[in-house]
Amino acid sequence: EVDILGKAARQAGAYLAIGVIERDGDYSGGTVYCTLLYFDPDGNLMGKHRKLKPTGSERLIWGEGDGSTMPVFSTPVGNIGGLICWENYMPLARMAMYGKGVQIYLAPTADPRETWQATMRHIACEGRCFVLGCNQFVTKDMYPSDLETFEELTSQPDIMCPGGSVIVSPFGEVMAGPLYGEEGILYADLDLSEIAKAKIDFDVVGHYARPDIFQLHVNTAPLLPITYESK
């Protein structure tokens, strides 16, 4: 599946970030993660971010990521990074991204509510970065009819998730979207010089910080379940 996604990025000649359900291949193979994969325009897998804290009932399914998968990638189009869904409500996780110099902040979600739009604008304004928030548009007829729980969908509305993808400027202004009620692609020209302008009066990890009072420690080491040592 990863090769297929890489091929799509290569054919489009674009950077691709996409959410997947990742099965752990390093240890037991029995743990799955909510993961954001990053590909470059040549189709190479640049890296990944595993969701740090699954939300609610997600904890019955997904494992927890660690600080080793919180990348911000330096690319010709800007520094790209992001958090998944309600991780974006974690102030310290956001600060970690700002501290790495994120310029194009990705925020995939399953939350279509108006409150999420306010969150996207807040993050853009707080981090002085461009925010690309994406959400799926899903209708009931998109589910396969042989799905084991298909009958349970009969009581659900025809539109299961209405979308809400949006692009926001470093000043918190909506540049495109929010897109509700249909499939589509949002476009915007991102002028990175706007970030420097936005940080003149507010830089949360620069001149507007107070490290003499507040400090954030981020553990970026992989949290290994087993450590082998030979003496």
Domains (ranges, CATH) in the chain? Answer: 1-69 (no CATH), 73-205 (3.60.110.10)
Question: Are 131 and 167 within 8 A, CB to CB?
Answer: yes
pLDDT below 50 — which residues of the chain?
A: none
Question: Are 90 and 52 within 8 A, CB to CB?
Answer: yes
Question: Are 71 and 49 within 8 A, CB to CB?
Answer: yes
Output the pLDDT for position 218. 97
Output the pLDDT for position 151. 83
pTM for the whole structure: 0.94
